[in-house]
Amino acid sequence: MQQQVLYTSNVNATLSTIIEGGNYNAVMVLADSNTRHLALPQLPCLENATVIEMPSGEASKTLDTLTGVWRAMQQCGATRHSLLVNLGGGVVTDLGGLAAATFKRGIPFINVPTTLLGAVDAAVGGKTGINFMGFKNEIGAFAPACHVIVSTTFFPTLPEQELKAGFAEMLKHAMLSSSESFFHLLDTDFSCINYDTLLDQLRDSIKIKEDIVRQDPHEQGPRKALNLGHTVGHAFEAKALADGHPIPHGYAVAWGLVTEAVLSHLILNFPSHQLYALASFVKSNYGAFHITCDDYPHLLDIMRHDKKSLAGEINCTLLHSCGDYSINNTISNDDITAALDIYRDLVD
């Protein structure tokens, strides 16, 4: 099923039109403990909806929470003609999407992302899931929402760190798209965000993800482009977690993008002016993830065991330049070591 992504500065009007046109016998809204208070009151069209609340944060993306949502849907008599509205960040849209996709073999759902990461990544693309037995997104389904309503309305209450985390995924999309989109994003000043400009940039950014996902909905090939920045980023994220100092995923992606831009420069001649512009933006807005040479063996080991790597080889998406990407590059130990050295020179 094709999902429709709608962009609006009036979420209530857009949502209310969809609900009125849908002839649903029940409307439910899944929110977390933050979005229930920060976002739900801005949507009077959901006044009569059954509210299902889940605790906020990654720790609640579990089978227990999912069971609670199924139970609540059953208790309010939901059928295949009922609608679930997922109102929240990636945790709510991932878990709520799975709840809707599995309840009575699937009921319609709408994603209303309230975080930038949710809007640019989690709520679009049709992947749902929960964490299981210590593995992230271990249980899930490809299940697109009928509609995704994208707006910047809810972002003013987002902590700056959450905004920056989502922005890193936008940077990734821009680098896959064109140098023009890339440099446009680098003009962003997080101390005075223009939410109208951000909505326009989100539209461009989501379109890039949609184009890639459309070519490869079940992640067999071209969708690997979206892994840009993530081979190294995941290694930074996993190392930080193992050291007991977790870092936000988006920050890991920002530092991963710099390192993979260095690799792209070394291997595919990625232009140095694009590399320096990226590194300088990341350094001033995200700071640095500190590593030393002693950390390299651990980082390389994580990269070799990344689920995208085949036969223990490190696999990356790289760029000839912004907008011209190449998937499935096998990276040698020497190249990754050189790239980590240069990352430290540029950012650390």
Ligand X SMILES: NC(=O)c1ccc[n+]([C@@H]2O[C@H](COP(=O)([O-])OP(=O)(O)OC[C@H]3O[C@@H](n4cnc5c(N)ncnc54)[C@H](O)[C@@H]3O)[C@@H](O)[C@H]2O)c1
* Binding-site ranges for ligand X (CB under 6 A): 32, 34-35, 38-39, 56-58, 61, 88-92, 94, 114-115, 117-118, 121-122, 125, 127, 137, 154, 157-158, 162
For ligand X, the closer of residues 223 and 239 by Cβ is 223
How buried is residue 144: exposed, middle or buried, by Cβ count under 10 Å (0-12/13-18/19+)?
A: buried
**What is the smallest separation between the CB atom of 129 and ligand X, expressed in angstroms?**
7
For ligand X, the closer of residues 101 and 158 by Cβ is 158
Q: CA-to-CA distance for 23 and 248, rounded, in angstroms?
A: 40
For ligand X, the closer of residues 114 and 329 by Cβ is 114
Q: CA-to-CA distance for 120 and 138, rounded, in angstroms?
A: 22
**What is the smallest separation between the CB atom of 328 and ligand X, expressed in angstroms?**
20
Beta strands 109-113 and 82-88: pairing type?
parallel
The encoded tokens of residue 44 equal 């009077």
* Residue with nearest beta carbon to ligand X: 90
For ligand X, the closer of residues 89 and 233 by Cβ is 89
**What is the smallest separation between the CB atom of 326 and ligand X, expressed in angstroms?**
22
Collect all residues with Cβ–Cβ distance below 8 Å to 295 and sequence separation of at least 6: 239
Beta strands 135-142 and 127-132: pairing type?
antiparallel
For ligand X, the closer of residues 40 and 45 by Cβ is 40
**What is the smallest separation between the CB atom of 21 and ligand X, expressed in angstroms?**
26
Q: Which amino acid is at 81?
A: H
**What is the smallest separation between the CB atom of 277 and ligand X, expressed in angstroms?**
25
Collect all residues with Cβ–Cβ distance below 8 Å to 189 and sequence separation of at least 6: none
Sheet of strand 82-88: strand arrangement: 4-7, 147-150, 109-113, 82-88, 26-32, 50-54
